[in-house]
Structure 1
């Protein structure tokens, strides 16, 4: 056991936890500059359960634009728990349980949509600190109205076309 290494690991895990919370605060508050600042310039995104599209690697600016347009109509609240972080030098991974609540008054069903599941994050330590290199959004179940998210309307549809272009799919 090496106390100085243990302390250094705790500090890095705290920095990563803070980054995860900034990611969520950017989403919930609509602070898209903060949200974008959490990401590497290119980021792997796997939101297949939500969007129906397979994992892609995209410019973080395009992903942020998609998130901004997709979430603009709804009020949102993400709560994170059970944060499990694994450090590996200049890389790290985290699994984070999440409850993502969304609200939008609707004439077509419930005014809420809640997703229960987790995020898997991949991180890279860069000169300016830790950044998110990959995000997998994986929910176990959803309650409420899935129709609150309409990816076919503009400007979301244009953002979808940029982000989920088949040329950006990650080859497995």
Structure 2
């Protein structure tokens, strides 16, 4: 299938900006990566059900969960499929997290993104995180549900 490589480039830039915004704690920039309404599924890591939310809620939830952590999101193995004004992308990612005490939680995962071409450019409409495994202390991440009924992060 022939793609407009300009779209591929712009989507790659958007996905890199999305990851970098977490690490720079650029919550306004993070919101600008998103459509007006986004579907999210972080159930593999967080133990919470999928939901549809606004960019502001998405950014506020990440700000609250990550404000005390240093993070580094590294993405690779990016696959992008463009179909008109919609696209899907898969990105393998390792998320490094460290708190002020030096405790860590690192997650190896695959992000599955839905993207939509908007008047201002490509934006993310869907985020699904599939966790392969995590190493470290899950209690340093306040965004993870620490329920006894949920299996421990391995």
Structure 1 stretch displaced more, 142-151 or 37-46? 142-151
Q: Determine whether 1:99 maps to 2:91.
A: no
Q: TM-score, normalised by structure 1?
A: 0.80
Q: Which residue of 2 aligns with 1:18?
A: 13
Retained in 2: the 8 A contact 1:41–1:61?
no
Retained in 1: the 8 A contact 2:106–2:134?
yes
Q: Which residue of 1 aligns with 2:29?
A: 34
Computed over aligned residues only, the root mean square deviation of the Cα atoms, in angstroms, reads 1.6
Q: Which residue of 2 aligns with 1:156?
A: none
Q: Which residue of 1 aligns with 2:149?
A: none
Distance (Å, rounded) in 2 between the aligned partners of 1:115 and 1:151: 13
Q: Which residue of 2 aligns with 1:118?
A: 110
Q: Which residue of 2 aligns with 1:78?
A: 73
Q: Which sections of structure 1, spanning at least 5 residues, go unmatched?
A: 153-172
Q: Which residue of 1 aligns with 2:137?
A: 145
Retained in 1: the 8 A contact 2:68–2:100?
no
Retained in 1: the 8 A contact 2:66–2:142?
no
Q: Which residue of 2 aligns with 1:89?
A: 84
Distance (Å, rounded) in 2 between the aligned partners of 1:26 and 1:102: 14
Retained in 1: the 8 A contact 2:115–2:126?
yes
1:138 deviation in Å?
1.4
Q: TM-score, normalised by structure 2?
A: 0.89
Q: Secondary structure at the match of 2:11?
A: helix
1:118 deviation in Å?
1.1
> How many matched pairs?
144
Report the structure, 1 or 2, having the larger strand content: 2
Report the structure, 1 or 2, having the larger helix content: 1
Q: Which sections of structure 2, spanning at least 5 residues, go unmatched?
A: 145-154
Q: Secondary structure at the match of 1:53?
A: coil
Q: Which residue of 2 aligns with 1:133?
A: 125
1:150 deviation in Å?
2.2
Q: Determine whether 1:64 maps to 2:59.
A: yes
Distance (Å, rounded) in 2 between the aligned partners of 1:19 and 1:30: 16
Distance (Å, rounded) in 2 between the aligned partners of 1:21 and 1:94: 12
